């Protein structure tokens, strides 16, 4: 199975590098420079149209791989809100987290703190925590820490169904195969500079339209709906003949 070569990424605090943001997709406070608040000339429909164009572009750059549209476009939105557009490094950062040594070297205390510090994981693994079953906890740790602990936007979108269902053990079971499939599927497009240029255009457009004012759940639901059904892309896309 081929691997994708990614530019080196500094391993800093996962809360800063991971991606997704609880609540609103952008931080509270003043909108970034150049954005338009709701009630101005732009609206939620404009953001939706911009995202629809993103789905259309991904349809050309990732043909027959529609299952990747959501994690790619959602990750692009998260970083666009932060006004960070070095998308290649940011959106592919999750491949660094897959390095076994990245999590294998974490001490037992770190692993226990991770499971005890997350209420949902504490409930799910209460038995293992009470027994001190580090074998099970360490086996589950690489997948759950990568998706939940690091809050990587791409991985959170890739495992959206399991996260919505709080099916954390399913994430552990599916993690290796699904991330390997994603890595191989995105590889050819990721090697094409046009792919990242197109994502940057979409990211900058949505950021300028007030994307930061939408809740995280709203953005996810909007992208999913656009992928599943007919989309209204706006006047910049020619109508069908």
From first to last of its 241 residues, the chain has per-residue pLDDT tens of 333 222 232 333 333 344 444 455 544 334 444 444 444 444 788 899 999 999 998 998 888 788 999 999 999 999 988 888 888 888 888 888 788 787 778 999 999 999 999 999 999 999 999 999 999 999 999 999 999 998 899 999 999 999 999 999 999 999 999 999 999 999 999 999 999 999 999 999 988 888 888 888 889 999 999 988 644 434 333 223 2
Number of domains within the chain: 1
| Residue 180 near residue 1, CB atoms below 8 Å | yes
What is d(CA 236, CA 228) in angstroms, rounded to the nearest whole number?
Answer: 21
2 located within any domain: no
28 located within any domain: no
| Residue 170 near residue 33, CB atoms below 8 Å | no
| Residue 70 near residue 241, CB atoms below 8 Å | no
Which residue segment(s) compose the domain that 201 sits in? 15-22+39-228
What is d(CA 114, CA 108) in angstroms, rounded to the nearest whole number?
Answer: 10
118 located within any domain: yes
φ, ψ dihedrals at 215, nearest 5°: -70, 155
What integer pLDDT is reported at residue 25 of this predicted model?
A: 52
What integer pLDDT is reported at residue 85 of this predicted model?
A: 81
CA neighbours closer than 13 Å in the CB half-sphere of residue 131: 9
What is d(CA 18, CA 154) in angstroms, rounded to the nearest whole number?
Answer: 9
What is d(CA 84, CA 69) in angstroms, rounded to the nearest whole number?
Answer: 20
What is d(CA 54, CA 58) in angstroms, rounded to the nearest whole number?
Answer: 6
What integer pLDDT is reported at residue 110 of this predicted model?
A: 96
What integer pLDDT is reported at residue 229 of this predicted model?
A: 65
Q: Which among 145, 16, 146 has a CA at the least distance from the CA of 94?
A: 146
What is d(CA 35, CA 204) in angstroms, rounded to the nearest whole number?
Answer: 10
Provide the 10 A C-beta neighbour count for residue 12.
8
64 located within any domain: yes
239 located within any domain: no
What integer pLDDT is reported at residue 66 of this predicted model?
A: 86
Instruction: Show the tokens assigned to 145.
Output: 């820490």
237 located within any domain: no
166 located within any domain: yes
34 located within any domain: no
């Amino acid at each position: 199975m081929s691997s994708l070569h990614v530019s080196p990424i500094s391993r800093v605090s996962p809360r800063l590098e991971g991606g997704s943001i609880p609540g609103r997709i952008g931080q509270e406070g003043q909108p970034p420079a150049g954005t338009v608040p709701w009630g101005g000339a732009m609206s939620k429909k404009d953001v939706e149209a911009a995202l629809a164009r993103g789905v259309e572009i991904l349809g050309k750059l990732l043909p027959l791989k529609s299952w990747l549209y959501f994690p790619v476009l959602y990750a692009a939105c998260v970083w666009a809100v932060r006004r960070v557009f070095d998308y290649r490094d940011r959106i592919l950062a999750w491949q660094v987290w897959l390095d076994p040594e990245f999590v294998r070297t974490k001490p037992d205390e770190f692993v226990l703190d991770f499971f005890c510090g997350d209420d949902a994981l504490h409930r799910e693994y209460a038995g293992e925590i009470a027994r001190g079953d580090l074998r099970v906890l360490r086996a589950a740790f690489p997948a759950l820490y990568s998706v939940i602990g690091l809050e990587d936007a791409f991985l959170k979108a890739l495992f959206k169904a399991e996260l919505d269902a709080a099916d954390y053990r399913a994430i552990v079971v599916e993690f290796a195969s699904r991330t390997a499939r994603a890595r191989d599927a995105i590889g050819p497009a990721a090697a094409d500079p046009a792919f990242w240029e197109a994502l940057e255009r979409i990211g900058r457009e949505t950021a300028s339209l007030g994307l930061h004012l939408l809740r995280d759940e709203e953005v996810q639901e909007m992208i999913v709906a656009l992928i599943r059904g007919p989309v209204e892309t706006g006047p910049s896309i020619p109508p069908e003949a």
